[in-house]
Amino acid sequence: MSHTVLYDPEALLAEELPLDRAPITALVDAMLARKDANGLRAGDCAQIALLLTGHARIVAAEVSRHFEALPEDSELRPVTEQVLQEAARRLSVTSQTTLAHVQQRARLVRALYRALDQLDEARPVPAP
């Protein structure tokens, strides 16, 4: 069986792809639980970093869309803006082939999902 790894650094497909959160969250948890890179080759780290980078870009785009819809006086604006700025800073760094870099990307994905969850909870429920 063959497969293709999605690499979308500009997040052009972000609006067309649903977020498949469960497998990414499992990967994030697995990478953050690792204490060392034993059994993980540089090529493995490179592929995992690319996957997490692509996913982080997609989630960041979704967070940004939610951020733009927030009222100007929302208490979530400063926090969300900080998360987006940090995401932009971290995603501007070229991917590396180390466990430390993979874990940094994993922490970024986790932070972006946390921000997305907060924004989803704060979104008003449409009237029937």
Alpha helix stretches (DSSP H) within the chain = 21-33, 42-69, 76-91, 99-122
pLDDT at 11 over 70: no
Identify whether 5 is part of a domain. no
Domain span at residue 56 reads 21-122
Q: What is the pLDDT of residue 34?
A: 95
Round to whole Å and give the CA distance between 33 and 54.
21
Residue written as token pair 């497969």:
3
Q: Give me the number of domains the chain comprises.
A: 1
pLDDT at 21 over 70: yes
Identify whether 90 is part of a domain. yes
pLDDT one-digit tens code per residue, 66-110: 999 888 999 999 999 999 999 999 999 998 999 999 999 999 999
